Amino acid sequence: MQHAGRTTRRWLTAGAAALMMTLIAPAAISAAAPNRPNGSAGADHAMGSQIRKHEGSGAATRAVARPMAAASSVRGIDVSSWQGTVDWTAQWNAGKRFAWVKATEGTNYTNPYFTSQYGGSYKKGFIRGAYHFALPDKSSGATQAKYFSDHGGGWSADGKTLPGVVDLEYNPYGATCYGKTKAQMRTWIADFSNYYKKRWNKYPAIYTSTSWWSKCVNSSFSSTNALWVARYASTVGTLPYNWAYYTVWQYSSSPIDQNVFNGTTTQLRTFAANHD
């Protein structure tokens, strides 16, 4: 498993046994159906929304919804303002043990539900963290990492807080790679990552898809940043450039974003507790 830090990288092997996993019932999502937040037209993009738009949502596999994951694994979800008030008790009862909550996008958006979602998951016992939807053409990586850090994206070595995540996917507003060359995109990501590491002594995890990464970056961050890969299928498939293992796999968006951590609960807590 490619965790951010030497301590965690040796836990798993690529030949881990397979385990069939199931999805939760729709009733466990939220007290109300997700709606576009007021005034958020074009301003609030959930994790994976653009990957699903460009690569598909795996509708053919959702009927089965049983991804092959490592034998030692932990299930979790990610949420944004689209989920509104989340029923964390139902999620816990459905077997979920970790969650990432959208905090920010670019430098002009904060999730109005962040406090309730982040705090609610914590109170229920979830190991939780925050994520940032990146807009690399709007400002520098360091500028967005600062905005994220200042609006809920921080980290502490308490074993209950997951590292912040930079969500890198297709541009919802225009050119797929935000008008940047691969070298420029690599520089932007490094700028974000280095700022976050300097401020919190923890590298942010990188969320992306293999297809987008190959098209827009195709550089190695495997020695520093944990990989959260999106692929809506029964197998994780080929990983982005030079990552040997994934730390988290987002395998479905139905009825809410479904994720699996590539390790045990103890390893998840260690991932949340260890400095890089």
E strand spans, the chain: 18-20, 68-70, 74-79, 98-105, 109-110, 127-133, 165-167, 205-208, 227-230, 248-252, 258-261
Whether the per-residue pLDDT at 37 is higher than 50: the answer is no
Whether the per-residue pLDDT at 40 is higher than 70: the answer is no
pLDDT of res. 36: 37
Whether the per-residue pLDDT at 276 is higher than 90: the answer is yes
Alpha-helix residue ranges (DSSP H) falling in the chain: 6-9, 49-55, 59-62, 88-93, 114-124, 141-150, 182-200, 210-216, 265-273
Q: Which distant-in-sequence residues (6+ apart) come within 8 Å of 63 by Cβ?
A: none
The tens digit of pLDDT for each residue in 231-245 reads 999 999 999 999 999
When mean pLDDT is compared across 64-73, 77-86, 228-237, 244-253, the lowest value belongs to 64-73
**For 114, how many CA atoms within 13 A lie in the half-sphere containing its CB?**
18
The tens digit of pLDDT for each residue in 81-135 reads 999 999 999 999 999 999 999 999 999 999 999 999 999 999 999 999 999 999 9
The tens digit of pLDDT for each residue in 7-20 reads 344 333 333 333 33
> Tokens 């297709």 sit at which residue?
170
CA–CA dist 29, 71 (Å, integer): 26
> Distance between the two ends of the chain, CA-based, in angstroms?
15
Whether the per-residue pLDDT at 3 is higher than 50: the answer is no
Active site residues: 78, 167, 169
% pLDDT > 90, the chain:
73
Q: How confident is the model at residue 263 (pLDDT cuts 50, 70, 90)?
A: very high
The tens digit of pLDDT for each residue in 191-211 reads 999 999 999 999 999 999 999
Whether the per-residue pLDDT at 182 is higher than 80: the answer is yes
Whether the per-residue pLDDT at 26 is higher than 50: the answer is no
% pLDDT > 70, the chain:
79
Return mean pLDDT, the chain: 85
Whether the per-residue pLDDT at 23 is higher than 80: the answer is no
pTM beyond 0.75, yes or no: yes
Whether the per-residue pLDDT at 185 is higher than 70: the answer is yes
> What are the domain boundaries of the chain?
47-273
Q: Domain 47-273 belongs to what topology?
A: TIM Barrel (3.20.20)
**176 and 215 Cβ atoms separated by less than 8 Å:** yes
